[in-house]
Amino acid sequence: MSSESNQYPAEFLLHHARISPELKTIAQKIFESERLTPDEGLLLFEKAELPFLGMLANYEREKRHGDKTFFNRNFHIEPTNVCVFSCAFCSYSRVYKHREEGWELSADQMMEIVKKYDDQPITEVHIVGGVHPRLNLQFFCDLIRRIKAHRPELHVKGFTAVELDYMFRKAKLSVAEGMRTLKEAGLQSMPGGGAEIFHPDIREKICADKVDAEGWLHIHETAHRLDMPTNATMLYGHIENYVHRIDHMERLRALQDKTHGFNAFIPLKFRNQNNDMSGVKESGIVEDLKMYAVARLFLDNFPHIKAYWAMLGRQTTQLTLAYGVDDVDGTIDDTTKIYSMAGAEEQHPGMTTEELVRLIHRAGRKAVERDTVYHELRDYSLEATPSDQPVNT
């Protein structure tokens, strides 16, 4: 594959006998960089076959990024898994009264984690966890200040809108005041968690008690207005249907039109172990690839579509690189438990930079290390690949 392949086979799709006129119209719109309507997004989910979706999503991906596939060097801090909420899909949290079954890290313990990476060229710490009733805004501002004092160049990305909504309400601050306070302490960006599915019919069933769609979007909008970039996720492949997925992406697309503050959209595949939705089957690989492809085509104002390899597994992640994905998150270094507790293939997610680069190159793409805000730090495709690597990886 190469970036020259942008001319590719528009004609082939537009003249293929098996492709319906409606799908050809959609293909034409993609080739002419026109926005898809929600109905067209739905049609892609419902009627388009995987090879068609793959071709279009790959066309769009290569038009934007060529073969580049981004990753960063990061680690996570999960301050606690004690949580005041009880999302049905969550395998990770423990309620306060059973907190002895979970963990709560002190600020000193978290600083020990940060210091462990002192001699490594890590660029980002990703802080996310349960919503603990006793860990407040002040605690996290102090933690961020300590991290920045210790290692000023380390980018601090932290807290889902769910954690922030609770922190701000407890501190009796408006969202704008709370976000400003965190920014002054050194918070630089936010991850995309907590979005789940915005549509109230589904949200009520899977996470009724936490911040709703409007609250989530308001927090991200406020971050964007303070020049803080954020990501957006969607938990897919459980009890939602395609209408809910399109509704979710449509709300994100509308906010992005206003602020341009989102960097990446991350579809998160629902994993069904050790949670209250264990009876719900997980999606198969065809459905996963369709999800990434439709996201790439529908979210025309999102620069990046990310496959979070720790959750999806390495091989599916490689495949997604041909279905619209241009980012695979980071090295992680076995510092997150959210997915291993929910049954992901990766029980101790962590890859060396060399492994991550090899994973990307074996899929026929170019590995580019980025920082959190997508400044390119190093293009590994320009470096010689050691010839003694086994070919079956």
User: Applying CB under 6 A, which residues contact ligand V47?
Assistant: 89-91, 160, 191-194, 196, 231, 233, 235, 266, 268, 270-271, 275, 308, 329, 338, 342
Q: How far apart are CA 148 and CA 298, in angstroms?
A: 37
Task: Please report whether residue 222 would count as binding ligand SF4 according to CB under 6 A.
Answer: no
Using the rule CB under 6 A, give the single segment among 79-87, 172-180, 250-258, 282-290 that binds ligand SF4. Answer: 79-87
Bridge partners (DSSP) listed for residue 81? none
Contacts of residue 382, defined as CB under 8 A and 6 or more positions apart, other chains included, come to none
Nearer to ligand V47, 30 or 266 (CB): 266
> Which residue has the closest beta carbon to ligand V47?
193
Q: How far apart are CA 157 and CA 187, in angstroms?
A: 6
Contacts of residue 195, defined as CB under 8 A and 6 or more positions apart, other chains included, come to 161, 216, 232, 233, 234, 235, 248, 252
Beta strand pairing call for 304-305 and 155-158? unpaired
Using the rule CB under 6 A, give the single segment among 57-65, 78-86, 111-119, 184-192 that binds ligand SF4. Answer: 78-86
Q: How far is the CB of 148 from ligand SF4 (least distance, A)?
A: 25
Among ligand SF4, ligand V47, none, partner that 130 touches (CB below 5 to 8 angstroms by kind): ligand SF4
Task: For residue 331, report the phi and psi dihedrals to the nearest 5 degrees.
Answer: -75, -30
Q: How far is the CB of 196 from ligand SF4 (least distance, A)?
A: 8
Q: Give the strands of the sheet with 304-305, arranged side by side.
A: 230-236, 262-269, 304-305
Q: Quickly tell me which residue has 């001319």 as its tokens.
A: 7
Q: How far is the CB of 270 from ligand V47 (least distance, A)?
A: 5
Nearer to ligand SF4, 83 or 359 (CB): 83
**Helix, strand, coil shares of the chain as percentages rounded to 5?**
45, 15, 40
Using the rule CB under 6 A, give the single segment among 85-93, 172-180, 339-347, 368-376 that binds ligand SF4. Answer: 85-93
Nearer to ligand V47, 193 or 324 (CB): 193
Out of 13, 43, 90, 211, which residue is the one contacting ligand SF4 (CB under 6 A)? Answer: 90
Task: Please report whether residue 374 would count as binding ligand SF4 according to CB under 6 A.
Answer: no
Nearer to ligand V47, 9 or 284 (CB): 284
Q: How far is the CB of 389 from ligand SF4 (least distance, A)?
A: 38
Binders of ligand SF4 in range 291-350 (CB under 6 A): none
**Residue 222 CA: distances (Å) to CA of 12, 107, 259:** 44, 27, 9
**Residue 245 CA: distances (Å) to CA of 114, 196, 202:** 37, 10, 10
CA angle 184, 190, 194 (to 5 degrees): 130
Out of 93, 181, 222, 340, which residue is the one contacting ligand SF4 (CB under 6 A)? Answer: 93
Q: How far is the CB of 225 from ligand SF4 (least distance, A)?
A: 25
Q: How far is the CB of 162 from ligand SF4 (least distance, A)?
A: 5
Sign of CA dihedral 97, 103, 109, 111: negative
Which residues would be at the binding site for ligand SF4 (CB under 6 A)? Answer: 83, 85-87, 90, 92-93, 130-131, 162, 207, 210
